[in-house]
Amino acid sequence: MFTYCACTLPTVLDGNVWDSRRGTLVFSNSNLQITSGWTASFLAVSWTTFTCIESDSTHWLFKSINNEQVFGPFYYTYYCVRYNKITDYSYSYYLDSNREENAGFARISFIEVSIANAGVTISQVCSPSSGPSTEEFHVLVKESQQDNVKQWFPDALLGVYAYTVTDNSNSGICGTGSVWDACTNRTTISFNYTQCSTQMFGSTDGVFYATKYVTSGSTSYVIIINADSSTSTRFTCLVTILCGSLNM
């Protein structure tokens, strides 16, 4: 039997962790597992628990604890997580796999049991022919630590902006005079609900923090986290394009 290199997960990733991709995850560092939150599905077959079998300075390799039959052979599933520490309570990551059409185009690898048992490593799994683009990043935040993961917003969002809100019928709900402020504090967006009472992105108090942003050309992508721990809308991704001196 092939022996894997040891996996080491950060201590903070134990218990409940918020994932911008899949919601709340449950990590168990004692057995190096994600026991809830990540699911891989291929047609009618599912894999729901994953063990970290190898890690290095840039990747965690997770393997499903079960193998399932698909069109004859049995397969394990693998998540290759390319990570980067942001703060003591947050990480960003990409999934370094090709998209699987029959798995909802998820970035995941399916490896037949005999090959998996012979040994699969980071260097083998984490080399996709068509990997994730710049904007395909996700973030992990330790549960209830949103106050401790704040980062600066991209330049295009650093300001005080007037905004309008419309519903699905394009009827105006809030108009001229409604303001959001990302200038007073460069890590925080604050909506003024006195001017416009419509809740934004599921927030009861209208306060959001930047967790991380990436830029590709003139376009920036930022994942914001709700300051309100009670909301079910935890993360939102904002896209902004800087056009000369205009923010769009």
- Which run of H or E residues covers position 62? strand 59-64
The DSSP letter of residue 151 is B
Tokens of 236: 């939102």
Mapping DSSP to helix (H, G, I), strand (E, B) and coil, where does residue 42 land? strand
Q: What is the mean pLDDT of the chain?
A: 91
pTM of the complete model beyond 0.75: yes
Q: How far apart are CA 107 and CA 127, in angstroms?
A: 12
Among 72, 76, 66, smallest CA distance to 115 is for 76
Dihedral Cα 233, 132, 108, 226, nearest 10 deg: -10
pLDDT digits (tens, 9 = 90+) for 176-204: 678 889 999 999 999 988 888 888 898 98
- Give burial (CB, 10 Å; 0-12/13-18/19+) of 133: exposed
pLDDT digits (tens, 9 = 90+) for 55-65: 999 999 999 99
Percent above pLDDT 90 for the chain = 74
